[in-house]
Structure 1
Amino acid sequence: MLTLVTLMGIINAISCKGQHSISYTLSRNQTVVVEYTHDKDTDMFQVGRSTESPIDFVVTDTISGSQNNDETQITQSTISRFACRIVCDRSPPYTARIFAAGFDSSKNIFLGWYPIVVVRSIRAADL
């Protein structure tokens, strides 16, 4: 469902922990919120470095071989807490879609007004 909503509508949509949504800011005065419902035809997985419950697969940073010693510390992670979401079809051809954006602990995606780059090829999905 694609809807232009008011500020109160945005707050309600993104504050519901049981509801997945994407909010995309068009301008200072317009935001689009896409709400998702459970779908028996797809499975959704979230990947990131966070160990919070919305994350299905936890990914950790690694230290390059030349820096591998006891004194090496990772000061800033290169992996987002909520890095990406993968949605897979349950029936052939089992298409998988990967969405990368700013996720939060309520499983919502936040996209700013910066242009989205879409790459297409014969076997690729639109992102």
Structure 2
Amino acid sequence: MSRFMYALLALCLALAIFTGSTHGGYVCEMGKILLSMNTLGDKKVTFATPFATKPDVSVALAAMEASNTKNTRIRAFAKDIATDGFIAETLTWDDTILYTVAVSWIACGERDRCAGMNHNQQ
């Protein structure tokens, strides 16, 4: 193997360790929630694997379908953030008519090196 290939392999390994792509470390999980006008409000999101500490969570509007006869007013945010999940809340006010909305989210934090492993295996 050439020096270049060894250097490239070392760089890839260093990036994987730095970004948490290996077991444990700083990692991110993301997802999307689709809501209708009947399901706006609080929506519980549960992480696939719990974080070791409370993660940083960001939410953003990904898409929406609203009436063009009224002003569109919507707010999306994360609340009650915990190691195993959070509440995604979407709010409208006044005379807004909203049919559907998609909210994307990303949670980044530390994961336990043993998260998701079965410790009872022999």
Question: Under a length normalisation based on structure 1, what TM-score does the superposition of the two structures give?
Answer: 0.22
Query: Which structure shows the higher strand fraction?
Result: 2
Query: Which structure shows the higher helix fraction?
Result: 2
Tell which has more relative contact order, 1 or 2 (C-alpha 8 A, sep 6+): 2
Question: Under a length normalisation based on structure 2, what TM-score does the superposition of the two structures give?
Answer: 0.23
